[in-house]
Amino acid sequence: MIANKLNVLLAERQLTIKDVVDGTEISRGTISNLINKNTTSNVNLDTLNKICMFLKISPSDFFDFVPYDLEFNVEVSEIDIILRTLKRQNNIVNDMTDDIHINDTEESSLYRNLEARNVKNFLVFTVGEFNHHKHCLDSEINKIYEDIPLIFRKFIEDKTLQTLEFIALDSKNLHINLDSDSDTAFYFEFSWGYTKKNYKELKNDVKMNYKELSQKINYISYS
């Protein structure tokens, strides 16, 4: 995976998008796209040259890299739901899986906390396995997450969240009754990767219209 570090470089220098636009004459849309889509947006050589000249850096300073790619998918069967992460490196594919528990009171203290506060109309998706002694159990995805730069941690978090959001739509397969005309809060907690964040369990609070959510993700197939 490769990503540009423009957002980090600007933050280190206390610069804004406007500063870059004024200093390079690159369009605001191009700069915003590079920042907001740092793992997917392309940058042409002329734009890269202008940014490097403006920031006084080399192209190697502009990019970050880890020597593998990750793909995310969800598999749903009658008995379980699995988040599958494929790691592709040197033509070798390593298949890593995490169980997904929905509103599992034994797995999720977050669910118990929300229930105790009388929070209504919510779903908690707990990814991976917790135990009583550690926040998370050792796993391959946890090791990857801990070893990679922050940019790619954000990529893993965003892609995993996008993938899990789609699960919330499949009320038939998941035996969940949701009112399609109401708002539902979706909480996602992960057993991997967050031990350095003070053991906080609430990572993402996604609240959106159910019908709008159904249009967000359309590339996940069910086994």
Residue 96 has pLDDT above 60, yes or no: yes
Query: Which is higher by pLDDT, 88 or 212?
Result: 88
Arithmetic mean of pLDDT, 9-37 = 94
For the chain, the average pLDDT equals 75
Planar angle of CA 138, 70, 104, nearest 5 degrees: 50
pTM over 0.85: no
CA distance 174 to 169: 9
Q: pLDDT tens across 111-131, in order?
A: 887 788 787 777 778 887 765
pLDDT (tens digit per residue) in 67-82:
999 888 888 777 788 8
The domain spans of the chain are 2-64, 69-213
Residue 140 has pLDDT above 90, yes or no: no
Q: Which residue has the higher pLDDT, 112 or 18?
A: 18
- Region 41-51: mean pLDDT is 94
CATH (one of 3.30.1490.20, 1.20.1270.30, 3.30.360.10, 1.10.260.40) for 2-64: 1.10.260.40
For residue 108, the tally of other CB atoms under 10 A from its CB is 22
Residue 74's SS3 state is strand
Task: Return the amino acid letter for 220.
Answer: I
Cβ burial of 67 (10 Å; 0-12, 13-18, 19+) is exposed
Residue 208 has pLDDT above 70, yes or no: no
**Predicted confidence (pLDDT) at residue 41 exceeds the cutoff of 90:** no
